[in-house]
Structure 1
Amino acid sequence: MTSSLGETNVSKITSIEASARAKAGKGAARATRREGLVPAVVYGGNQEPTLIALDPRVVIKGLQTSGWRSRVYEITVGGKVERALIRDVQLHPVKDTPVHVDFMRLAAGSRVHVEVSVHFVGEEKSPGIKRGGVLNVVRHTVDVEVEADRIPEFFTVDLGTLDINDNVRWEDVKGTEGAAPISHEANFVIASIAAPSVDTTTGEATA
């Protein structure tokens, strides 16, 4: 069953302020970091790249939030507003802090490749889990192609009716309308309920 993608599941837009950078290159990027900012670039959409600088706290907060790979950012710089996705974040090898961010500009009407997280609900109702079964998550995220203005915030899997040895496939996932999975396997498995393993020393089932 393929469910419709309701408006409430379209990715929320996160608004951020940025300052413009005049120059590209490693030297200019280092100068930006010395000012306590993170150099970044917004590219794509058949437009020239826009060089920007961000407050590192904004970047870190975004990365610490679930589903950041499918989050739409509305970036304001110099009075101009652009919508984009984070495509890559370079981290400091020792400090693990962001040192550069690549944003991909979203053009209205275009389709984009994006990684959408999967949320699992109804675990407490699952007959299989109640009988000692174990949830085996095959995919925590799914790569899909979708319209730029219809990017899902997340997909939902309801485990409420699953028994031991049951599984959830792509066609069972909610919130997938308009999203085409980038997979060579048709109707792939998202998760399953595995039987409890048996401890050979005691003969007792263990979760």
Structure 2
Amino acid sequence: MSHATYELKAETRERVGKGSSRELRRNGLIPAVIYGDKQAPISIALSTKEVTQKIHAGGFMTTVATIDVNGEKISVLPKDYQLDPVRDFTMHVDFLRVSGNTRVTVEVPVHFVNEEKSPGIKVGGVLNIVRHEVEVYCPANDIPEFLTADLTGLKIGEGIHISHITLPSGVSPVIADRDFTIATIVAPAGGVSEEAETTAE
């Protein structure tokens, strides 16, 4: 269901600070931090190339990885990363230490299916996506790769709400107090001709 896990080799960093970060980057490494699970944060250095490849491969923020820190294997989930805006390489990553029962908050992409079965789209309606991703709580080792929104039967003016989406067990939306909208079918800018409406009935 989720992406294949992967392992990164890391070394601990004794010196922390601007100067040492620059030195790391010159050597093809990036500073990173592993925190959470009620343990002291660990400052580490990772291969810039490996991490940048993982980010570009997709699913980086929703895949649990193993980081081998001097032989100790730690399960982590990336929580945040910074890219150099000019040269598009990774500058820093924060990892959250996770164990089997850790619950995490992640943004999971929504995939829309069965557009061809939506009467509203058939007559020229447009799918207006309100949320491309939904923030959910879920077990760290069972993050859904995506959520599926089924457009079957939707007419113009109707929408898909979070209640229409089947969430895997253990997964719940972070916004819990309302049935929020994922997408709506809106009339095209020019309106729908009457002829199209009668043929679509």
Query: Aligned letter for 1:77?
Result: V
Q: Which has the higher contact order (CA 8 A, sep 6+)?
A: 1
Does residue 14 (structure 1) correspond to residue 2 (structure 2)? The answer is no
Does residue 72 (structure 1) correspond to residue 64 (structure 2)? The answer is yes
User: What does residue 162 of structure 2 align with?
Assistant: 170
**Partners in 2 of 1:193 and 1:63 — Cα distance?**
33
Query: Aligned letter for 1:198?
Result: G
Over 6 Å off, 4+ runs = none
User: What does residue 40 of structure 2 align with?
Assistant: 48
130 and 186 in structure 1: CA distance in 2 versus 1, 3 angstrom threshold: same
Q: Cα deviations across residues 66-111 of structure 1 (Å, max 9, x unaligned)?
A: 4432222222232222221111112224223211111111132122
**Partners in 2 of 1:99 and 1:155 — Cα distance?**
30
Does residue 194 (structure 1) correspond to residue 186 (structure 2)? The answer is yes
- Shift of residue 45, structure 1, vs aligned partner: 0.9
Q: 2:93 aligns with which of 101, 111, 114?
A: 101
151 and 80 in structure 1: CA distance in 2 versus 1, 3 angstrom threshold: same
Greater CA drift, 148-157 or 96-105 = 148-157
User: What does residue 51 of structure 2 align with?
Assistant: 59
User: What does residue 78 of structure 2 align with?
Assistant: 86
User: What is the TM-score when the length of structure 1 is the normalising length?
Assistant: 0.82
**Partners in 2 of 1:121 and 1:78 — Cα distance?**
45
Query: Would you say the 8 A contact 2:136–2:171 is kept in 1?
Result: yes
Query: Aligned letter for 1:42?
Result: I
Query: Would you say the 8 A contact 2:158–2:185 is kept in 1?
Result: yes
Structure 1 stretches lacking a partner, 5+ long: 1-8, 200-204
Query: Aligned letter for 2:164?
Result: D
How many residues matched?
A: 191
**Partners in 1 of 2:59 and 2:182 — Cα distance?**
17
Q: 1:149 aligns with which of 105, 116, 141?
A: 141
- Shift of residue 185, structure 1, vs aligned partner: 4.4
Query: Would you say the 8 A contact 2:12–2:70 is kept in 1?
Result: no
User: What is the TM-score when the length of structure 2 is the normalising length?
Assistant: 0.84
**Partners in 1 of 2:163 and 2:176 — Cα distance?**
15
**Partners in 2 of 1:12 and 1:127 — Cα distance?**
34
66 and 190 in structure 1: CA distance in 2 versus 1, 3 angstrom threshold: farther
Does residue 38 (structure 1) correspond to residue 53 (structure 2)? The answer is no
